[in-house]
Amino acid sequence: MGTTVPAVGEQRPVPQVVRSRQELLSRGIVFPAAPLAPTKLPITDSGPCYSMAQSLAWLDADHFAVGRWNGSLEIYRYTQSVAEGPLLQETVTSPAFQGVRAVASLPGRALLSSNDDRSLALWHAAGAWSDLRAAGTFSHDPELGVATSACAVRAGATGGLVVGHTTGCLSIWEYDPQRRRLAFRRSVDLRNPAPVNPWGLHDINAVDLVADSRTVSRVVTGSEDGYVCVVEIPSGRILSQQVFNAQAERGINDLGIRDGGLLVANCSVGASDFNLWYYVLDKESWSFALRDQVNLKIDPARPQAFNFNTVWGTYSGGACWFASTEEGALWMGTAASSGVKVIGYQEVNNPLGSALGWRGRTDGAGRLAMVAHDPHEFTT
């Protein structure tokens, strides 16, 4: 996959986990030593091209899409095979040759992906997903910034799309599946005036459905600046805004909601912080009350522990959650009125980040996809 070459002096995109480590190192916080002392070669490093997954969305019961840092958008078919694993069906490139930070499934066998700071990319498959084709790019004000999260909603004449951006703004679109067209309707400023992170970032890293209907939908967003917001669609009315943790040093990486239960994933800093939070929705005020929190960390000496993604799922024991963390681990547990219970973890993937997606089936089985560099599939 090709990527644009940064101009002289331009800063390359850096994964959140790397950026956070650099900030802690600048404060003199020491990370565990590597097994072998590094050596220096007489060559010049021009910088890496990160190829890990940034986003993942299920398209149907058998296919999921993965957006990567290197600008590629991939479609995989779930195989339920211990010998093959997920099979790559199609690979396309962001029209702007930028990392794909947001992916969302749309009605009519369509797929949305982030593009650049002034447009979204729409894709369509007339038949099989292996025949994915560009349906066009759709412009928005560059002041909104690059799309960082998205989800489809039913509200509106033909249905809609809600997109989170790097600036902390939410954009609301109408989507016509027959003509395969997006029409911008409005934007909503959801910025926290006092960001919890040390860089002043406002990226809305997650947006998920709270309630959905033909006339009115409600979505919850999670931002790098620490805000959890509930917004009414298509009006854009803000129903609630709150900081997930007043003592947080890092923002929200992901969230997931089911039946009023909200999971929030972040990076914990220090031994007394947490990286998975569980809240319960109050539908009168549209705010969330904290029920419990845990720190998903294998090595207690680590100064930070990133939780990249969290999703709700089910398994033989009932409802559950999954989370992917910086130590290359896939965690599993439950959350209810009694609090959060951790079932355990297994080592799976790359420490620079893994995207997760869970999909239920009518036969009661569930499918979990986990992608960093390599795609993994699990049956729950």
| pLDDT range class, residue 1, cuts 50, 70, 90 | very low
23-37, 67-81, 184-198, 244-258: the lowest-pLDDT one: 23-37
Q: Domain residues for 72?
A: 50-139
The reported pTM is 0.90
User: Reduced to 3 states, what is the DSSP secondary structure of residue 362?
Assistant: coil
For strand 366-371 and strand 119-125, is the pairing parallel, antiparallel, or unpaired?
unpaired
On whether residue 239 sits in a domain, the answer given is: no
Q: Residues 254-304: pLDDT tens digits? A: 999 999 999 999 999 999 999 999 999 999 999 999 999 999 999 999 999
CA distance to 14, 202, 307, per residue, from 329 (Å): 21, 27, 10
- Determine, yes or no, domain membership for 113: yes
Query: In terms of Cα–Cα distance, which of 21, 23, 45, 18 is closest to 32?
Result: 21
**Collapsing DSSP states into helix, strand and coil, what is residue 181?**
strand
Residue 5 lies in a domain: no
pLDDT tens digits, residue range 320-367? 999 999 999 999 999 998 999 999 999 987 777 799 999 998 777 799
CA–CA dist 69, 147 (Å, integer): 13
What does the pLDDT look like over 86-138, one tens digit per residue?
999 999 999 999 999 999 999 999 999 999 999 999 999 988 999 999 999 99
- Res. 2 pLDDT band, cuts 50 70 90: very low
Indicate whether 370 belongs to any domain.
Answer: no
339 secondary structure, DSSP code: E
Residue 358 tokens, joined: 């869970």
> Residue 203 corresponds to which tokens in the numbers above?
């990226």
Q: Has residue 77 been placed in a domain?
A: yes
Q: Is 338 domain-assigned?
A: no
Residue 82 is assigned to a structural domain of this protein? yes
Residue-level pLDDT at 34: 64
79: how many CB neighbours lie within 10 A of its CB? 13
Neighbours of 33 (CB within 10 A): 7
pLDDT at 178: 93
Q: What are phi and psi of 23, to 5 degrees?
A: -65, -40
- Residue 223 lies inside a defined structural domain of this protein: no
Tens-place pLDDT, residues 216-266: 999 999 999 999 999 999 999 999 999 999 999 999 999 999 999 999 999
**Number of structural domains, the chain?**
1
